[in-house]
Chain A
Amino acid sequence: MTDLHWMPLAGLAALIAARKLGALELTDALIARAERLGEHYRCYLTPTFDLAREMARAADAEIARGRWRGPLHGMPVGLKDAFDTRGIRTTVASRLFADRVPDRDAFAVRRLLEAAAVLMGKLECTELCLGGPSLDGLVPHSVNPWAPERYAGGSSSGAAVALATGLLPAALGTDTGGSIRFPAALNGVAGFKPTYGLVSLGGVFPLSHSLDHAGPMARTSRDCALILDAIAGHDPDDPTSVRGAEPPRAAAALAAGDNRLDGVRIGHVVNFTEAEGVSPDARAATRAALAVLEDLGANVQEIALPDLMEFTVCNTTIMTSEAFALHGPAFRRRASDVAAFTRARIALGAFIRAEDYVRAQKNRRRLARATDAAMERFDALVYPGSLGAAGRIADVRPFYYLNLPLITAPANIAGVPASSVRAGFDAEGQPMAVQVTGRRFEDALVLRIAHSFETATPELDRRAID
């Protein structure tokens, strides 16, 4: 069987369910590819290949006995090294946690294991989920396969690079201001930040409790839906986990019909697309994507939300304050063990006043209310997935987000579901992306719109490497 490494999760799952592909065969193929390419792209921080083979054998044996647990049965997955894994070190790519070995799995990891997924290893991320790109931390940043001199994004960079290089079909990431969607956009893969509270944060490294989200990453939005269905659910040990929310059944929503979007009302957030810092190529990719959505039957109208920089400042103030509150004590003791960019970004938290934090939380409600008001007329909002192509690593400054907006931050502020969807390439061949966001707990609809766009634009499926 050829090109197993590029098959989407949904296709691999169908083969495994039909017993035309063994989990061990797939796992071995991906391990062989990782051993050939992994050192160059640096996306694995702690591979667990022996364990993966053991889990794949067990998955095959269970299927042979007639029990198939679902689409993730026997599926190789990688985890951003921010998810606790019992008996496997979890470092968040920091010397502060270099020897930390959790004694239990994160809730989302437990859900993956219950679905009989195969754990391939822990993936590189930028340090403490807010550093990078850096070569002076515990591990160097992952290499962008589209252009090695450019940033792969962060903080779930290892996951995005592993997907873009065909090392994995599925991964979990975390997202506090865009850390799933930003690297997904720069690497041309799919990333989904669920509604706040839908996926437990239990056992996930906390950067900023009120903004953190955990979610799926894959090469297609359909695959993200399959992963989301497995990991979503109430966790009584996590106070941010929502009790009583309907399961997203996102994959079923995609499978139910064709890719038509007749009657779906989409708002183009035109002041985000036109915001300072958004490149002409990113604007063009967004407008082209909206034209495709219209062709699919969606009713597209322009709307405006509050200033994108206002969302950015609100996100930065809350995230930086909460990160310093959480990690200040360890940071004060061992600041010199932290990479320079991470050190600067954490230290900024020492200067934010309590009144600024309180004001930012109040402002968050105001911005979320404005987003909700806009959503009364629409089923989804669309705007660029990133400001443009990945920047050159040499040009990235520690506080770039104080001078340019974080176009992913509004969905964290409002807690709404948000997909990053590949949307073509710029003149230099760098991936472009759009975001689709929706109402809280309407995750399935967001993924359906993203999936419809992807299936309508197969010409945009391109690979960085063979």
Chain B
Amino acid sequence: MSVPDRAATFAALLAQSGLDPAEHDLAELQGAWERLTELLERFDSSELDDPERAAPLALFDPLRKP
């Protein structure tokens, strides 16, 4: 995705979420969002997402061993 496209996508998401762009440092926020996206992709595990092999989602339960 080109830089202007990424900025446009980001601005659209911001508007969707009900935040006022004037109240935020858009460049910083976009940088963080892109960095988090990059990290999520780096640690993505197909094992977690494969509908045939993935374990069902069970939220953390302190009484049960994971």
Asked whether any CB of chain B lies closer than 8 Å to the CB of A104, the reply is no
A195-210 contacts to B (CB < 8 Å): 195-197, 210
Contact indicator B17/A372 (Cβ below 8 Å): no
- The CA-CA distance from A362 to B46 in the complex, in Å, is 12
- The CA-CA distance from A366 to B49 in the complex, in Å, is 13
Residues of B within 8 A of A296 (CB): none
Contact indicator B60/A361 (Cβ below 8 Å): yes
Choose one: B19, B28, B62; the contact of A398 (CB below 8 Å): B28
Chain B interface residue count, Cβ-Cβ cutoff 8 angstroms: 35
Contact indicator A335/B20 (Cβ below 8 Å): yes
- The CA-CA distance from A158 to B59 in the complex, in Å, is 32
Q: Tell me how many residue pairs across A and B have CB atoms closer than 8 Å.
A: 102
Q: Classify the interface of chain B: helix, strand, loop or mixed.
A: loop
Residues of A within 8 A of B63 (CB): 197, 242
Asked whether any CB of chain B lies closer than 8 Å to the CB of A135, the reply is no
B1-35 contacts to A (CB < 8 Å): 10, 13-14, 17-20, 23-25, 28-29, 31-33, 35
- The CA-CA distance from A368 to B33 in the complex, in Å, is 26
- The CA-CA distance from A351 to B36 in the complex, in Å, is 10
Residues of A within 8 A of B57 (CB): 358, 361-362
Choose one: A210, A332, A340, A352; the contact of B59 (CB below 8 Å): A210
Residues of B within 8 A of A348 (CB): 29, 32-33, 36
Which residue of chain B is the closest to A195 with respect to CB atoms? B62
Q: Which bucket holds chain A's interface residue count? A: 35 or more
Which residue of chain B is the closest to A402 with respect to CB atoms? B35
Question: Contacts A372-B65, A372-B66 given: A196-B60 contact, CB under 8 Å?
Answer: yes
Contact indicator A310/B66 (Cβ below 8 Å): no
- The CA-CA distance from A446 to B61 in the complex, in Å, is 21
Choose one: A340, A347, A362, A402; the contact of B55 (CB below 8 Å): A362
Contact indicator B24/A369 (Cβ below 8 Å): no
Contact indicator A351/B62 (Cβ below 8 Å): no
Contact indicator A369/B66 (Cβ below 8 Å): yes
Question: Contacts A309-B39, A362-B57 given: A415-B48 contact, CB under 8 Å?
Answer: no
Asked whether any CB of chain B lies closer than 8 Å to the CB of A69, the reply is no
- The CA-CA distance from A398 to B24 in the complex, in Å, is 12
- The CA-CA distance from A398 to B48 in the complex, in Å, is 30
Question: Contacts A344-B29, A399-B28 given: A363-B60 contact, CB under 8 Å?
Answer: no
- The CA-CA distance from A366 to B66 in the complex, in Å, is 8
Interface residues of B (CB under 8 A from A): 10, 13-14, 17-20, 23-25, 28-29, 31-33, 35-36, 39-40, 42-45, 48-49, 54-55, 57-60, 62-63, 65-66
10 contacts between A and B (CB under 8 A): A195-B62, A210-B60, A309-B43, A310-B43, A335-B19, A343-B24, A344-B24, A363-B45, A366-B66, A399-B28
Interface residues of A (CB under 8 A from B): 195-197, 210, 240, 242, 307, 309-310, 313-314, 316-317, 328, 332, 335-336, 340, 343-344, 347-348, 350-352, 356, 358-359, 361-366, 368-369, 372, 398-399, 402-403, 415, 440
